Amino acid sequence: MSEKLKKYQEKRDFVKTSEPKGKPANGKQRKKKGLKFVVQYHAARTTHFDFRLEWQGVLLSWAVPKGPSYNPKDKRLAVHVEDHPVEYADFEGAIPKGEYGGGTVMLWDEGAWEPQEDFEEGLKKGSLKFKLSGERLHGKWALVRMAPRENESAENWLLIKEKDEFAAPGTGISDYDTSVRSGRKLEKIAAEESSQTKVIPFQNLSVHLARSVDKLPQEDGWAYEIKYDGYRILAYAEDGSVKLMTRGGHDYAAKFKSVAKALETWSKGRSMVLDGEMIIADENGKSDFQALQNYLKKPTGKELTFIVFDLLAADGKDLRDLPLSERKSALEKLMKGAPASVVYSKHTLGNGEEIFQAAAKIGLEGIVGKKLDSRYSGTRNGDWIKMKCYNRQEFVIGGYQISEKKAGGIGALLLGVYEGRKLIFAGRAGTGFGQRDAESLLKKFDKLRTEISPFKTAPEFDETETVFLKPRLVAEVQFAEWTDENVLRQASFKGLRTDKKPTEVVRETPLSEKDVKSEPKRETKKEATVLGIPVSSPDKIVFKDPEVKKLEIAQYYAAVAKRMMPYAGGRVLSVVRCHKGVSAACFFKKHPVSEGEGTAILEIENSEGEKSDYFYLKDERGLISEAQLGTLEFHVWGSRADDLERPDMMIFDLDPDEGMGLGQIRQGVKDLKKVLDSLSLQSFLKTSGGKGYHVVVPFRPTAEWDAFRDFSRQVAQLMEKKWPERYTSNVRKIKRKGKIYIDWVRNGRGATSVAPYSLRARPGAHVSMPIAWRELSTVAPDGVDMFDALKRLKKADPWKGFFQIGQQLQI
């Protein structure tokens, strides 16, 4: 914990409050010009203004009960309080009742400040003189420390306006009662915060994975847990519904119905994301993977148990950036009222080697070690490690050898692991499957037969005794060791894994203790790694004016990921790739060659019954994987991949004819909004990054595509009928002469539109940027570039609450 922020952090429970925890202050002072100041109006137990100055990596803070005054005669009491993190300068919202400072916070003023004298010396002496350049406060000001009274614990100062051209006889405070950022009044901020459902702040997350090691670290700061043998599950509970997502992106709520129902009942009125392992325990309490496999085939007999070891979100709050120790503490409190089938995974602090020996003695699979200060990055970065009591991992089945004992039966499975995109032969598993298992496997194998070996490196196979398979199935295999020839010895089949993707299966090579210690250092190479994804050719020029390099593209998508993913994640994608930059040829791509990090493949059937592979983003790493492949533009379906036939986003693209003025285009947007308002539909605005604007309408996913498309066409035709000289709903170019085409065709099944926050593959590095309606008159369709977009992230989200609107298409 940063010493400067220790008091601030100790007073707050960051699981409950949405206030920023703050990053450790490095103590380095930025240049004296351009330092931030902020004034926040705080309706807590007692209403007051919080006056904050950025200094030495934190915000020095004073509570000013009556607020600042422009009158030099007014000496306002300013109580010096604990330092706040610099990120607090962006905080506007509600602090829950019962929490420290519970109440509503409004950003009343912000800007830059500049010291007029030696500031460090002034802090010691208790006399600070500075100049403010804000939206509402300007000119010279002073803070003067008062002599302490007897038994007085508070450090009281006076905030005084110095005489200059900005001084005035009145206070100047009453002139302003709205937020300098969002334009909202305090009451509206409070009402919007309380009315909003506490939704899960992310979807389709990648799980954090453990590195295999051959020796445990000796230093303190590690927690150790039992390694369970089951299915890794992320449980999303929200608004009375539950999803149980596997690593492969499949919802197993129907397969694990008893646990899903228990979570539904328990979580009502709350939202949460739990990370854990679904198991079936044997009579000794140990996880039994074969029993779980049998349950998936026939859900009877033994009961399921969901072992929960991490809490990633609670009541709308994203907890992934909190250290593990805090997440575990919050989880333990949360789990006190959990149902019997949902169990908290206890951890032990201490000697990892002793814990491992105890685990081996009672026949457990192994243990998992986790750094107590680690955040949840969703990668395999060495913050979590595992040490197994016996060798066991997943392998891809690439074929089988025909049994010599039984005609057409299985003699041995041919196994492989991936190295990049190549499947490398890893050996054979000739035991572990009985007659029933073999029959079940053969049924699955029949659909996967191929004449070509899937292995890139493998010994010669006798073709008369070998059947090759497409590498689609993953097997759990236990084995004695890897030989010097890099093949398995004494490998035994334990079951199929439907929760893991073949392309994720790699050889698990245990790291040494030295490797474990050095792993984070290798991960932090910023120049060519973003969110754990390597970015090749980072200095390649993608845009010439302004100059933007490939690495900057990846960094941009990492920066906008939190805001972009609700609209781009979990939706079928088409992308525009520009391998040699926007000045060369770019390509529109729908169908993936293979899955990348953070992306997943989905097979979709078209109206003619033909099936094709499409892909979607599972998490923010998918944005970076695509940026690495040269992707600039992301175009998405109007429905989610897990509810493909019921769209939830309707888009109208206003496409003006050549030569039309910006005033006409803006009038078109206003007219469209009038039509939507008359239909009692709330809509949102974004720039296209090109010639026009996009108006987007959120819906609950209840209507199917035909009805959705018909409704959007009717809206466009209504505009055409009302203002025939201005608009057309006809896609043909000849019909657009001197008019704006209201493009409604994007609302059909299989059609896409550019995602919010997506870059455009054209000169200028423009962005399709969400903006507030009041900005229509000031922001042009191509008026936001990549650098403007990054600055806008510091401001309030103009599309906040988009998916909480709850409006429904009336059919």
What residues have CB less than 8 Å from 773, skipping those under 6 apart? 673, 685
313, 200 in Cβ contact below 8 A? yes
Specify the pairing of strand 155-161 against strand 547-549. unpaired
> Any catalytic annotation for residue 388?
no
- Mapping DSSP to helix (H, G, I), strand (E, B) and coil, where does residue 728 land? strand
Q: How far apart are CA 762 and CA 780, in angstroms?
A: 16
Give me the numbers of helices (H) and strands (E) for the chain, helices first please: 14, 45
Torsion of CA 290, 296, 301, 304, to 10 degrees: 90
- Residue 304's H or E segment, with its range, is strand 304-314
Q: For 100-250, where are the alpha helices, taking DSSP H only?
A: 119-125, 186-195
Q: Token match 């999303």: residue? A: 236
Local structure of 794: helix, strand or coil: coil
Residue type present at position 485: E
Find the angle CA(633)-CA(570)-CA(444) to the nearest 5 degrees: 115
Is residue 344 within 8 A of residue 301, CB to CB? The reply is no
C-alpha torsion angle, residues 38, 42, 47, 48 (rounded to 10): -10
Strand partners, 94: 104
Question: Which residue among 161, 227, 388, 494 is the active-site one?
Answer: 227
| C-alpha span between 606 and 612 (Å, rounded) | 8
DSSP assignment of 660-727, as one string?
--HHHHHHHHHHHHHHHHHTT---EEEE-SSSSEEEEEE--TTS-HHHHHHHHHHHHHHHHHHSTTTE
Q: 740 to each of 230, 262, 660, how far by Cα in Å?
A: 57, 53, 8
Count CB neighbours of 288 within 10 A: 18
Residues with a known catalytic role? 227
